[in-house]
Amino acid sequence: MELLKEIKDKEYPEDESILKIREASRAVLLDENNLIPLLFVSKKNYHKLPGGGIDKGENKAKALDRECLEEVGCEIKVTGEIGKIEEFRSKWNLKQTSYCYQGKIISKGEPNFTEKEASQGFKIVWLKIDEAILQIENDKPEGYEGTFIQKRDLIFLKKFKNIIE
């Protein structure tokens, strides 16, 4: 998968063995009306693509299916790759690689947010691609994590737009 960008607030430490490593699957999904679901994290004032960490024993596809079902309540079909982004969040000593896919929504249901997601005020919004890009560009995330998510998901959405045009 193509590396689209490295996002980091500092250079990697000389001893990378001290880093926590996390891998995640994410997706830009289209429904039957060409609308994209974004998760609005209302308590932190930013939007994000559905997806999340790959659990032990899961592959990227299985993690993506699970995350989309949990966060958006949708069954999906992956139709292609968008790319990957590596993030280094020095405050947490975290190196995260996000693999992003494009897909179609096969069926819609209700999300099943985790306790943490519910406490952060997660809500689903459905937007056209240009509206989704504009929304994330105009977000003003509160907190450390949101600034990384904003940069990352904006890159994924713009790459997706280039792919479909």
Q: What is the mean pLDDT of residues 121-125?
A: 96
User: How many structural domains does the chain have?
Assistant: 1
Q: How confident is the model at residue 14 (pLDDT cuts 50, 70, 90)?
A: confident
Q: Which two tokens stand for residue 110?
A: 């209700």
Q: What is the mean pLDDT of the chain?
A: 96
Characterize the bridge pairing of strands 46-48 and 3-8: unpaired
**Mean per-residue pLDDT, 93-104:** 97
**Containing domain of residue 17, as a range?**
3-164
In the three-class reduction of DSSP (H, G, I as helix; E, B as strand; rest coil), residue 47 is classed as strand
Q: What is the DSSP letter of 37?
A: E
Average pLDDT (127-132) is: 98
pLDDT value of residue 12 = 83
Three-class secondary structure of residue 130 per DSSP: helix
CATH no. for residue 77?
A: 3.90.79.10
pLDDT for 15 = 86
Predicted confidence at residue 13, as pLDDT, reads: 85
For residue 84, what are the CA distances in angstroms to 60, 115, 159? 12, 28, 11
